[in-house]
Amino acid sequence: MTIIVTGGAGFIGSNFIFYQLKHHPEDRIVCLDNLTYAGNLSTLASVMDRPNFRFVKADICDREAVNRLFDEEKPEIIVNFAAESHVDRSIEDPGVFLRTNILGTQVLMDACRKYGIGRYHQVSTDEVYGDLPLDRPDLFFTEETPIHTSSPYSASKASADLLVLAYHRTFGLPVTISRCSNNYGPYHFPEKLIPLMIANCLNDKPLPVYGKGENVRDWLYVEDHCKAIDLIIRKGRVGEVYNIGGHNEMKNIDIVKLICKALDKPESLITYVTDRKGHDMRYAIDPTKIHNELGWLPETKFADGIKKTIQWYLDNRDWWEEIISGEYQNYYEKMYANR
């Protein structure tokens, strides 16, 4: 069968493509990505020549290009990773988030309707639930937790989720949605917390921690996320939302200190900077539904995953140095220079 993976030149999408090609070599994977600042073709270099893989540079908002691709490939499944994904950028410039994350989703689903596609899967996020208080460790996000967004990014992802559910109910489109917690692992773009701290440590640069560093995220190794999506698209129930997370809550400051220690760098590099506007306090997923229905459990413990991740950034300096030496420098200046 043929699966179209949108946003496959980004962090999670590329890891998902590697997962599919490894575990389902009988399937054909077509990656559709318009290579924004976050998309990197070199990430896909190792699979580019595979006979069952094709890369197509196109925008998910480009209806004509999307329809043409569906016409050519006659896919059975669409997995939509394509998105503007960075909260800080959404605070600077919300417009492109609304365009890609909402209208792009609509274009893909319209094509699914037109070509009678078997499954549309929307890769969503736990950020659609808003945040939880630090003093209520007993609370977790379930699939029934009301949508309550904080940033333009999360509002755009929540809007897309509502649209996906509306296409299911109104048009009978066979959809599934997954809402995952924070991922980490290889090919994570260096604007995000973990790779940014690794890169800055290796360059002996200050480590900018927002606010007091007390915010909590629920970290999951990217391959475990890919495995969960693979189960959902093959065995998940149509019309359902599945939360994905591994009960691995950590404070930002503890992650940064752990990275300093692993790279033998002094904690004096840590610099507390002005907090993110509207900064969500705590995310924590209850993954009971996906565990009970699909038997999913995370396989990589954080202690092992972070070790593997740090080693990957040590072994693949070319990949991230190339990124941070380009346009990224302007972004970094703008976001951090006077913070």
The count of chain residues that interact with ligand NAD, using the rule CB under 6 A, is 30
Alpha helices in 236-301 (DSSP H): 252-262, 288-294
Nearest distance from residue 97's CB to ligand DAU, in Å? 11
Distance CA 111, CA 115 (A): 6
Q: Round to whole Å and give the CA distance between 28 and 84.
A: 26
> 310-315 long-range CB contacts below 8 Å, 24 or more apart?
310/198, 310/259, 310/262, 310/263, 312/185, 312/186, 313/195, 313/198, 313/199, 313/202, 314/202
Residue 191 or 230: the one with the smaller Cβ distance to ligand DAU is 191
Kindly identify the residues of this chain, within the stretch 156-185, that bind ligand NAD according to CB under 6 A: 157, 180, 182-183
Selected catalytic residue, list 33, 59, 84, 126: 126
Q: How many CB atoms lie within 10 A of CB 71?
A: 11
Residue 126 a catalytic site member: yes
State the minimum distance, in angstroms, from the CB of residue 129 to ligand NAD: 12
Residue closest to ligand NAD (Cβ): 10
Q: What is the DSSP string of 212-245?
A: TS--EEE-EEHHHHHHHHHHHHHHSPTT-EEEE-
The distance of closest approach from Cβ of residue 312 to ligand DAU in the complex, given in angstroms and rounded to an integer, is 17
The C-alpha atoms of residue 246 and residue 299 are separated, in whole angstroms, by: 9
Instruction: Round to whole Å and give the CA distance between 116 and 68.
Output: 14
Contacts to ligand NAD from residues 101-130, by CB under 6 A: 104, 123, 125
H or E segment to which residue 53 belongs: strand 53-57
Helix (H, G, I), strand (E, B) or coil at 149: coil
Amino acid 255 reads I
CA distance 1 to 6: 16
Of residues 85, 159, 215, 248, which one binds ligand NAD by CB under 6 A? 85
The footprint of ligand DAU (CB under 6 A) covers 85-87, 125-127, 181-182, 192-193, 196, 208-210, 215, 217, 252, 276, 283
One of 18, 53, 141, 189 touching ligand NAD (CB under 6 A):
189
232 lies in the site for ligand NAD, by CB under 6 A: no
Q: Which of 33, 59, 84, 127 is catalytic?
A: 127
CB of 35 to ligand NAD, least distance (A): 5
Does 88 participate in catalysis according to the annotation?
A: no
Which of 3, 4, 5, 7 is close enough to bind ligand NAD by CB under 6 A? Answer: 7
DSSP code for 201: H
Instruction: From the list ligand NAD, ligand DAU, none, pick the one residue 61 interacts with, judged by a Cβ distance below 5 to 8 Å according to partner type.
Output: ligand NAD
Q: Is 127 a catalytic residue?
A: yes
Residue 335 neighbours by CB distance under 10 Å: 17
Q: How far is the CB of 311 from ligand DAU (least distance, A)?
A: 20
Query: What's the min distance (Å) between Cβ of 313 and ligand DAU?
Result: 15
Please report, as ranges, the residues that interact with ligand NAD according to CB under 6 A: 6-7, 9-13, 33-36, 38-39, 59-61, 81-85, 100, 104, 123, 125, 157, 180, 182-183, 189
Active site (catalytic) residues? 126-127, 153
